[in-house]
Amino acid sequence: MALPSARFRGTDAAGREEETNALTVQVSASAYEQAMSHLGSASAPLIRKELPASASAGHIRLPYLCYRCGRPDPSGRPSVWGLRRTPKTALFASRPFDPHHSRLMTRSVDEAPRTIPAGRDLTLDLARVFCVLLVVFVHILFTGVGRGENGSLVIERTVESQPWFNAATWVANVMPLFFVVGGYAARAGWRTAVAKGISADDFIRVRLARLARPAVPVFIFFTLALGATRMLGIAPELVDAIAIGVGSPLWFLAAYMIVQALAPAMMRWHERHGGWVLLFLLGAALAVDAFRYVFVGGVLGIDPLPPTGYGIGQEVFGIPNVLFVWLFAMQVGFFLYDGWFARLRWWQLVLLIGVGYAAQWGLVSLGGYSVSMLGNQWPPTATMAVFAMVQAAALTLLHAPLTALMRVRVVQGAVFLIGSRLMTVYLWHLPMIMVLIGIELLLPLPLPEPGSPEWWWTRVPFLVAVLGAVLLLSLWLVRFERVPPVITPRFPAGWATPLAVIVFVLPILAITAYGLDFPLAALALGGCATSLWLTGSARTAV
């Protein structure tokens, strides 16, 4: 006999509410009575009347129910998160019933055992890994190295000379998504920390250790390498060209640490004021951009910073947007965690993406922003804030196929392998690119001319070689990414952790503004070591 159909609202593996069509649940009488004892008087009668009175174990037809609270929810509608379009039969699990966050209805009897850990959305891990791999590949396309007609070394940014480059940056600049996913993870991590009685100071110390510890080896490498070039008398112009390029990704360390240090406070603002926080941050970012471009550049006539050397340039006045823009992206991650994007229908998500791109076009056309979105990344401009909304909507729209992809064991394994050493891949990929190019130059083999068809065809094998070298290096370096969930402080809370964050961030901001050189590399190494000493993380075994 066919089972009666119904509609069901439950939660997915990450705790978000989802709805499935035509769900009929098979329960035993004992499991049913156990559930009824927890659901309460408001919802129990609605279900109890569906149970066949003469059956010790039967099929019950469920109305809309929110299994976070067990209350009826007849106004619910389908969500794009984990939407199933075919009838499913679920077995009432025998594990203890959780009246607040029940996931008893999340598996069908015809499904294979889940490989996704409960309470974790692996599509976010996939997004993080994808972002870093895309950054690696883009940097490979940037490094065009070859020999001139007279045999001299030629270094160029090949991909920037392509006619499609500016348009590609409107899709390929995924760094806002990294901060959105970071905001999602911070909100989830903070809620867990609060439940365990972990303080904001402890929360920030752990996040500082996750960034500073992997950064120590790379700054040791930069300091020794740049010091050696000085002693060997290598041409400063060549060293500067390589060092500035190799140090370009380091801005992320400072920006991400700033927003993570402010995450507990920003979550309180988010809970109290919601969308008003986004409006404030966006307005502040636009104000900084206006001051930088209109007043500093137009009225005062201050030029951008030169490629090398120190001084005051337009970029210095845009540094406050490191705070406003990337905090905006993190706040978007809070909304993603809360399910705001998941409650939108697919066409609303598409509309949001379209409106976002239209806003970007308006900012570029009327506001004088760079057509290349990479030109808007440092210092970040309001266009990056708009992209955070666009990319969060796109991630939500693609959640169902990405979830299906993450059920493939090979994909899960690759994401785990790279994700478990993600900071190592991010920090070391450019040094490894330079090392492999150096090996190419030493070998008596002809180098393809940058931009030629042969050069483009060799980019994917070169990506595989770079990842292989970094993963081999990570066999030792991965130990620096292993940080305990709680770090015993060396000093009383209140001053040491904020000071450690400042000491860690400032030298890296200087590197981002003026380019990597020997003094700044040594200063950043000292900042990392000092910040770890101040927070007690230096005592963690490696």
CA atoms within 13 A on the CB side of 250: 33
Task: Report whether pLDDT(209) > 90.
Answer: yes
pLDDT at 119: 56
Scanning the structure block, which residue is given the tokens 């891949």? 425
Rounded-to-integer distance, Cα 519 and Cα 522, Å: 5
3-state secondary structure labels for all residues of 466-534 = HHHHHHHHHHHHHHHHCCCCCCCCCCCCCCHHHHHHHHHHHHHHHHHHHCCCHHHHHHHHHHHHHHHHH
Rounded-to-integer distance, Cα 275 and Cα 507, Å: 33
Q: What value does the mean pLDDT take over residues 343-361? A: 95
For residue 122, give Cα distances in angstroms to 12, 127, 216. 12, 9, 29
Under a CB-based contact definition with an 8 Å cutoff, are residues 68 and 11 in contact? Answer: yes
Element (H, E) at 182: helix 175-195
- Vertex 240: Cα angle to 237 and 243 (nearest 5): 150
pLDDT at 148: 66
Task: Report whether pLDDT(109) > 70.
Answer: no
The tokens of 170 are what?
Answer: 């409107």
Residue 407 phi/psi, 5-degree rounding, is -85, -10
Residue 371, helix vs strand vs coil: coil
Residue 524 phi/psi, 5-degree rounding, is -65, -40
Cis, bond preceding 379 (omega within 30 deg of 0): yes
**Strand pairing partners for 91?**
26
In eight-state DSSP terms, residue 219 is H
Under a CB-based contact definition with an 8 Å cutoff, are residues 342 and 81 in contact? Answer: yes
pLDDT at 397: 95
Q: What value does the mean pLDDT take over residues 467-493? A: 86
Which stretch of 174-188, 255-269, 470-484 has the lowest confidence by average pLDDT? 470-484
pLDDT in tens, 419-469: 999 999 999 999 999 999 888 888 877 788 888 888 899 899 999 999 999
Task: Report whether pLDDT(228) > 90.
Answer: yes
3-state secondary structure labels for all residues of 459-484 = HHHHHHHHHHHHHHHHHHHHHHHCCC
Rounded-to-integer distance, Cα 46 and Cα 51, Å: 10
Q: What value does the mean pLDDT take over residues 384-413? A: 95
Task: Report whether pLDDT(96) > 70.
Answer: no
When the pLDDT of each residue in the chain is averaged and rounded to a whole number, the result is 79
Rounded-to-integer distance, Cα 257 and Cα 22, Å: 46
Rounded-to-integer distance, Cα 165 and Cα 451, Å: 13
* Contact residues for 148 (Cβ-Cβ < 8 A; gap 6+): 154
pLDDT band for 308, please (50, 70, 90 cuts): low
Rounded-to-integer distance, Cα 32 and Cα 501, Å: 52
pLDDT at 65: 40
Rounded-to-integer distance, Cα 125 and Cα 70, Å: 30
pLDDT band for 122, please (50, 70, 90 cuts): confident
537: phi > 0 → left, psi -120 to 50 → alpha, else beta; which? alpha
Task: Report whether pLDDT(87) > 90.
Answer: no
Q: What percent of the chain has pLDDT over 70?
A: 75
Which stretch of 15-19, 78-82, 477-481, 526-530 has the lowest confidence by average pLDDT? 78-82
CA atoms within 13 A on the CB side of 110: 5
Which stretch of 27-41, 59-73, 481-495 has the lowest confidence by average pLDDT? 59-73
Element (H, E) at 205: helix 200-232
471 vs 28: which has the higher pLDDT: 471
The tokens of 28 are what?
Answer: 């035993």
Other C-beta atoms lying within 10 Å of the C-beta of residue 470: 22
- For the chain, what are the domain ranges? 1-31+57-120, 122-205+253-472
In eight-state DSSP terms, residue 540 is S
pLDDT at 450: 86
pLDDT at 487: 78
* Contact residues for 456 (Cβ-Cβ < 8 A; gap 6+): none
**Closest Cα partner for 501 from 183, 220, 199, 258?**
258
pTM above 0.85, yes or no: no
341 vs 309: which has the higher pLDDT: 341
DSSP string across 305-357:
PPSSS----HHHHTTHHHHHHHHHHHHHHHHHHHTTTTTS-HHHHHHHHHHHH
Which stretch of 86-95, 237-246, 340-349, 491-500 has the lowest confidence by average pLDDT? 86-95
Residue 154 phi/psi, 5-degree rounding, is -120, 125
pLDDT band for 537, please (50, 70, 90 cuts): low
pLDDT in tens, 123-150: 999 999 999 999 999 999 998 887 766 7
Which stretch of 107-111, 166-170, 329-333 has the lowest confidence by average pLDDT? 107-111
Which stretch of 63-67, 256-260, 377-381, 482-486 has the lowest confidence by average pLDDT? 63-67
Rounded to the nearest 10 degrees, the angle between the axes of helix 382-397 and helix 175-195 is: 70
Q: What value does the mean pLDDT take over residues 278-284? A: 97
